[in-house]
Structure 1
Amino acid sequence: MEHVELFFKSIFIDNMVFAVFLGMCSYLAVSKKVSTAVGLGAAVIFVLAITVPLNWLLDQYLLQPGALVWLGDEYADYDLGFLSFIMFIATIATMVQLVEIIVEKFSPSLYNSLGIFLPLIAVNCAILGGSLFMQAREIESLGLAFNYGVSSGIGWFLAILAIAAIREKIRYSSVPPALRGLGITFIITGLMGIGFLSFGGMLTGGDEEGEPSTEPKVTTEKVQVQKEKEEIAKNTKTIN
């Protein structure tokens, strides 16, 4: 259940684009055609699916306070948390280079379409954000880290695919001159963000256990009203 909730929550409610506005540079620049959006979205999913679990392992066994205890008790007090950004970015850059080599080898047309934005995945804040959010959420297992990486990538993929499909149709629409281009794109992005966030009401049913029940309060109020009625009745009898 935890895996399913994390999967859908990362795609819809905590979407990288619509919730925290990460990866907007590539989102806006490569969303003019569906074909290029699909290619970049697939590359983002692959990079997040690899880097988030790898960075989870680095965080658990190298960077957290006391993570080096597996080397011996004398290393238990070491804290390498200040190296998080450097280690995470190094992992991301390595994986992006691997993706660039694979795309250039098997799909030269897609490689040429993506242009400079393919190597720029290395500095895409959505990729680094995935690892930092994983660290902030204190994800407890490698499986959940992989789940979070894949689902976050799928959320970004759906966002850029949706806006690319809409932008292809908008070309044939009568858009006011002042809103053509990025103007109407930002407006549509905001509306899509509202739509994605509306899924929050469907995925918060499991929080009922943590919410205080109103039944004891109602019962207490009934008892208080009953006591007041009895006291009024006693006072009435005394007066009579």
Structure 2
Amino acid sequence: MEHLELFFKSIFIDNMVFATFLGMCSYLAVSKKVSTAVGLGAAVIFVLVVTVPLNWLLDQYILQPGALGKWLGAEYASYDLSFLSFIMFIATIATMVQLVEIIVEKFAPALYNSLGIFLPLIAVNCAILGGSLFMQSREIPTIGLATTYGLGSGIGWFLAILAIAAIREKIRYSNVPPALRGLGITFIITGLMAIGFMSFGGMLTGGDEESKKETPEVVERIEAEKEAIKKETGAEHSQSIADNTIKVVE
């Protein structure tokens, strides 16, 4: 259940494009045709599925404070290599992107030529790096959940670029105002789709417990305010009863 919840949440609620607006350069540049959008989207899914769990292992066993002590001994427990996170994550991503580029060039040369420079640029796609950084900041506890998160994030980005590519193909035959043609109408449509994806925020059940996990300070403050309102309301009610009693006696 935890895997399923994280999977759908990373696709619809925390969508890389519509929630965080990551990977917009490739999203805008390669979404003119559905065929190229599908190819790049599949490549992004593969890279995220591989790099997020790999970077989880790097974070857990090398980068975190005391991580080296887990397998090298207590004398290394004081080492903190978290400042190397960006470099290590990007190195992992670049390696996987090179692997994808070799595979696509070998087995799908037409797709390789249509993607052009944007295939190797996946290495610096902020959606790819964002997946690993979100995994680290949200402290995903297991490698299985990290893989699920990478898969869901990749599919979410794939759905976003596929949707905008299909819409842009139809828009070619529409009478768009000259001032909005090209990127203008694309940004407007992206914003409207982002608003639509906001409706998925209430899709998951068990919101109270989840809210307490994610924002305990906010929940505690709200509960304290509720108690204060109850006490204040009770005091006002008691005072009102006393005033009415005095009037009756008079």
TM-score for the superposition, normalised by structure 2: 0.88
Distance 2:16 2:111 in 1: 24
Cross-structure match for 1:187: 188
Taking the TM superposition and a 5 Å limit, the aligned residue runs for 1:145-184 are: 145-184=146-185
Distance 2:114 2:139 in 1: 38
1:55 aligns with 2:55: yes
Distance 1:86 1:222 in 2: 57
Taking the TM superposition and a 5 Å limit, the aligned residue runs for 1:52-201 are: 52-69=52-69, 70-201=71-202
Secondary structure of the 2:192 match is: helix
Distance 2:47 2:120 in 1: 12
- Cα root mean square deviation, aligned: 2.1
Distance 2:114 2:226 in 1: 61
Q: CA deviation at 1:216?
A: 7.2
- Report the residue type matching 1:78 in the other structure: Y
Distance 2:54 2:124 in 1: 17
Cross-structure match for 2:22: 22
- Report the residue type matching 2:120 in the other structure: P
Cross-structure match for 2:215: none
Distance 2:228 2:107 in 1: 65
Secondary structure of the 1:20 match is: coil
Secondary structure of the 1:67 match is: coil
Once the two structures are superposed, residues 110-145 of structure 1 have per-residue CA deviations (whole angstroms, 9 ceiling, x without a partner) of: 111111111111111110111011111111110110
Unaligned runs of 5+ in 2: 213-218
Structure 2 vs 1, CA of residues 57 and 220 (structure 1 numbering), >3 Å: closer, same or farther?
A: same
Q: CA deviation at 1:9?
A: 1.5
TM-score for the superposition, normalised by structure 1: 0.91
Once the two structures are superposed, residues 33-92 of structure 1 have per-residue CA deviations (whole angstroms, 9 ceiling, x without a partner) of: 001100100000000000000000000000000001121010000000111111101100
Q: CA deviation at 1:13?
A: 1.7
Once the two structures are superposed, residues 179-224 of structure 1 have per-residue CA deviations (whole angstroms, 9 ceiling, x without a partner) of: 1111111111111111111211223x32224466799789767855
Structure 2 vs 1, CA of residues 65 and 218 (structure 1 numbering), >3 Å: closer, same or farther?
A: closer
Q: CA deviation at 1:2?
A: 2.3
Number of aligned residue pairs: give it: 238
Larger CA deviation: 157-166 vs 103-112: 103-112
1:231 aligns with 2:232: no
Structure 2 vs 1, CA of residues 74 and 169 (structure 1 numbering), >3 Å: closer, same or farther?
A: same
Distance 2:232 2:86 in 1: 54
Unaligned runs of 5+ in 1: none
Cross-structure match for 1:40: 40
- Report the residue type matching 1:98 in the other structure: L
Q: CA deviation at 1:5?
A: 2.1
- Report the residue type matching 1:167 in the other structure: R
- Report the residue type matching 1:68 in the other structure: L
